[in-house]
Amino acid sequence: DPAPAPNPPPSSSSTTPDNNYGIAYSPYTAEGTCKPAPQITHDLSQLAGYAFVRIYGTDCDQTRLVLAAARQYHLGVFAGLVDLTHFSDDLALIITAATENGGSWDSIHSVAVGNELLNSGRNTAAEIVGAVQTARATLRGAGYEGPVVAVDTVAAHLANPGLCAVSDYCAANCHAFFDDAVEAEGAGGFVREQKGDANARSKGNRNKKVVITESGWPHAGQANGKAVPSLENQRAAVRSLREAFAWDSSDEVGLVLFSSFDDLWKVDNGYTFGAEKFWGILGH
């Protein structure tokens, strides 16, 4: 018999949904208020075709609303606790959202315990490790058997290998834009190299899968050396990222694009180059 035809390569377009990748999503209006359910459903209709959407918290009833919309469009949901402030309550909200009305955990891709809590100085590595262990035990008790992870930067993971060790895979955010020596076309190679560092140098975690849980490029803002925000550069960077991670889907998705739409509610600081609002890939 002839050999089966190989799978076609992923789309080279920077905006076409592709189930080789996840994509980040935040359910807030430009003013920072909660988007209503119909708007969330409309937003996710534009993301149909990705493997899953990544959300960051439980406020605005987002786990339940995003999960309901995602199920309509055969999207998974990468759920999360934004921090450890309301840890038990947030976990309970995720459990209820997944299992109410006869629902199952099938649509939940992963659960993140925080986002860059170590990098931001909000928590210690020991606090995060303990929270992941507690969250996993609680979620397992509620019937969830999928990954539970601590998401942080590559640098935070390298300095604190316990974050990766306690996670079901190493979950690292990595943005080439914040390296002033990297041009947009080199984003994919840069992030792939950073992923390799996380694989090779995380003590005791060499065989653990690394997923890049955020990576993208802004389309507006100020330049950071060779890293220049523009629509053209965003398209080039996202295309480069997609090409660099195109075949990770032979086992599991290895890249979450950041982000689906502009986050006009966000506020810049001294490290964001006036670009914090403008990482959205769609809508312009």
Looking at residue 268, the DSSP 8-state letter turns out to be -
CA pair distance 248, 218, nearest whole angstrom: 24
Reply yes or no on whether 183 is catalytic: no
Exposed e or buried b per residue across 221-240, where buried means at least 16 C-beta atoms within 10 angstroms of its C-beta: beebeebbbbeebbbbbbbb
Q: Are 213 and 112 in contact (CB under 8 A)?
A: yes
Nearest CA to 263 among 276, 245, 253, 251?
A: 276
Contacts of 282 (CB under 8 A, 6+ apart): 15, 46, 47, 260, 261
Catalytic residue among 127, 145, 185, 214: 214
Sequential DSSP letters for 159-218: H-THHHHHSSSEEEE--GGGSTT--GGGHHHHHHHHHHHHHHHSTT-TTS-EEEEEEE--
Residue positions annotated with a catalytic role: 214
